[in-house]
Chains A and B, each alone.
Chain A
Amino acid sequence: MSKLEKTWWMTSHIDTDAGKIPRISTQLNQKDRLGHLKVRLGIRRRKYSVSPGLYGIGNPDSNSPVLVTANYKLSFDKLRMELEGMDAWILILDTKGINVWCAAGKGTFGTDELVERITAVNLSRVVSHKKLILPQLGAPGVAAHIVTKRTGFKISYGPVLAKDVRQFIQAGNKATPQMRAVRFPLRERLVLTPVEITGILKPLLIITFLVLILDLSGLDIISVKDLLPYIGAIGVGAFLVPVLLPWIPVRAFALKGFILGIIYAFVLNISSGYILSPNPNWSQALVYFLTLSALSSFLAMGFTGSSTYTSLSGVVREMKFAVPSIIIVATLGIGFMILKLFVRF
């Protein structure tokens, strides 16, 4: 296995009939943790991978279980941490640095790759049994019965989360219904929001820059602080909606974002004295209602990609109504905004 690049998490080697297999650490160091933080913030997510192949944990022998995972380093780190004190083999597929779930959807965590990897690492010479444990979330890409037909290895689908893998193995490769269920708890939703926000940072910076130029040009059209309500709307659509997701009593994501966007615009308009005040500013209030709700709605709709329960057919149906609606509302809002520059009403 000399072709595997030597890294800090490889500690030594294990001698097998198929040659030397790198032994890996179950402890994460500072470098691993910094890498995780960067990935969560959406910095260079594409290149966060480990070399595909076979690795050992503890003192594995020919009877030790074989766990299959993707070569996305975050998934790999979670798995090795959970295997502390155990003896096992980890077979890493080449998923181009993408996590198990998404790679299974694309087919890179798939039947062909698994079959080829089993052969490439000479797995039947390393272990004497014919069993593989795959993460349950790899199932959309792998046809277990076909892998068995082609290699003789039988697949047990393990738990969804790496943290349950020890219990799964100890129970004789049996998962409880809790281990099989994909949920979307608050903690998980929170972890995914920074990625949503960094995703829109670039267009936001460009707009801020343009507004800054207009502001400094002295034309008195717009100033940078006019952008603040929109930054708030980004917070509503890309942060507040994900956080409050199950408690917003409608099902479509765009509608969830629209409702919170309207509430936000309402609060903003009242606190700015544009409505329900002695001197209302109806035109500005209208601009805020339209533009802020459209922005929040659009960003909330984007969170369908991060969620763990939206179907393709469902999102397509939602978008058929939401996309034209958002375009109309946003166009009206921007139209009024421009009109206000020329006509005082």
Chain B
Amino acid sequence: MKNEYLKNVVTLKYDIDKCTGCGICVDVCPHAVFRMENRKAVITDRDLCMECGACEKNCPFSALSVRSGVGCAWGIMMSELKGKDEPCCGCGE
């Protein structure tokens, strides 16, 4: 069985015109959101994106952008309550 989260919600944006086909996004993505096709990266399934931000951070040509963050309900609640970023529950901290 596959773990799948909510549909049509992630903020991942990709500008294929800026892509030079270096393939680093394929390497860093933990959920195989990208694959190489005709020397360009293409998106396989946006809904698999967990917004970790690795692709945006490592794309040398700024072809990718995403509002990155941790999908952690406790963290979100704590930052709402205390008005600051709180460490996440499952984070070894």
Q: Which residues of A approach B to under 8 Å, CB–CB? A: 39, 45-46, 48, 72, 74, 96-99, 102, 104-105, 136-137, 139-145, 157, 160, 175, 177, 180-184, 192, 195-196, 199, 245-247, 251-253, 301-302, 304-319, 323
Partner of B3, one of A192, A245, A317: A245
The residues of A that contact B24 with a CB separation of less than 8 Å are 144, 157
- Residue picked from A39, A48, A72, A144, most chain B C-beta under 10 Å: A144
- Closest CB-CB distance, A244 to chain B, in whole Å? 10
The residues of A that contact B58 with a CB separation of less than 8 Å are 139, 142-145
- Closest CB-CB distance, A49 to chain B, in whole Å? 10
Partner of A308, one of B6, B30, B51, B73: B30
- Once the chains bind, are B89 and A180 in contact (CB under 8 Å)? no
- Once the chains bind, are B51 and A313 in contact (CB under 8 Å)? yes
- Once the chains bind, are A314 and B5 in contact (CB under 8 Å)? yes
- Once the chains bind, are B4 and A251 in contact (CB under 8 Å)? yes
**A246 with B73, Cβ < 8 A, contacts A39-B92, A139-B57, A160-B30 known:** no
Asked if B21 CB lies within 8 Å of chain A CBs, one says: no
The residues of B that contact A181 with a CB separation of less than 8 Å are 30-32
Q: Which residues of B approach A to under 8 Å, CB–CB? A: 1-7, 9-11, 24, 26-32, 48-54, 57-58, 60, 67-77, 88-93
Looking at chain A's contact residues, is the secondary structure mostly helix, strand, loop, or mixed? Answer: helix
The residues of A that contact B3 with a CB separation of less than 8 Å are 183-184, 245-246, 307-309
- Closest CB-CB distance, B23 to chain A, in whole Å? 11
Q: How far is the CA of A305 from the CA of B27 in the complex (A)?
A: 24
- Once the chains bind, are B28 and A139 in contact (CB under 8 Å)? yes
- Closest CB-CB distance, B10 to chain A, in whole Å? 5
Q: How far is the CA of A144 from the CA of B89 in the complex (A)?
A: 28
- Once the chains bind, are A305 and B5 in contact (CB under 8 Å)? no
The residues of A that contact B88 with a CB separation of less than 8 Å are 102, 305
Q: How far is the CA of A102 from the CA of B5 in the complex (A)?
A: 20
Give 6 nearest A-B pairs by CB, closest first: A305-B72, A312-B69, A310-B71, A306-B90, A246-B1, A139-B54
The residues of B that contact A246 with a CB separation of less than 8 Å are 1-3
- CB-based nearest B residue for A247: B1
Q: How far is the CA of A235 from the CA of B6 in the complex (A)?
A: 25
8 further A-B contacts with Cβ under 8 Å, apart from A140-B57, A251-B7, are A45-B93, A139-B57, A180-B26, A181-B30, A252-B6, A305-B89, A305-B91, A311-B71
Q: How far is the CA of A323 from the CA of B29 in the complex (A)?
A: 30
Q: How far is the CA of A312 from the CA of B54 in the complex (A)?
A: 14
- Residue picked from B5, B27, B88, most chain A C-beta under 10 Å: B5
Q: How far is the CA of A145 from the CA of B28 in the complex (A)?
A: 13
- Closest CB-CB distance, A311 to chain B, in whole Å? 4
- CB-based nearest B residue for A182: B30
- Closest CB-CB distance, A184 to chain B, in whole Å? 5
Q: How far is the CA of A302 from the CA of B76 in the complex (A)?
A: 10
Q: How far is the CA of A149 from the CA of B57 in the complex (A)?
A: 15
Partner of B5, one of A74, A136, A140, A251: A251
The residues of A that contact B52 with a CB separation of less than 8 Å are 104-105, 139-140
Q: How far is the CA of A318 from the CA of B5 in the complex (A)?
A: 10
- CB-based nearest A residue for B25: A139
- Once the chains bind, are A157 and B27 in contact (CB under 8 Å)? yes
The residues of A that contact B89 with a CB separation of less than 8 Å are 195-196, 199, 302, 305-306
The residues of B that contact A305 with a CB separation of less than 8 Å are 70-75, 88-91
Q: Can you sample 25 A-B contacts with CB below 8 Å?
A: A45-B93, A97-B93, A98-B91, A98-B93, A105-B53, A139-B57, A140-B28, A140-B52, A144-B24, A195-B89, A196-B90, A251-B5, A251-B7, A253-B73, A302-B73, A305-B89, A309-B4, A309-B5, A310-B50, A311-B6, A311-B10, A312-B70, A313-B9, A315-B76, A317-B9
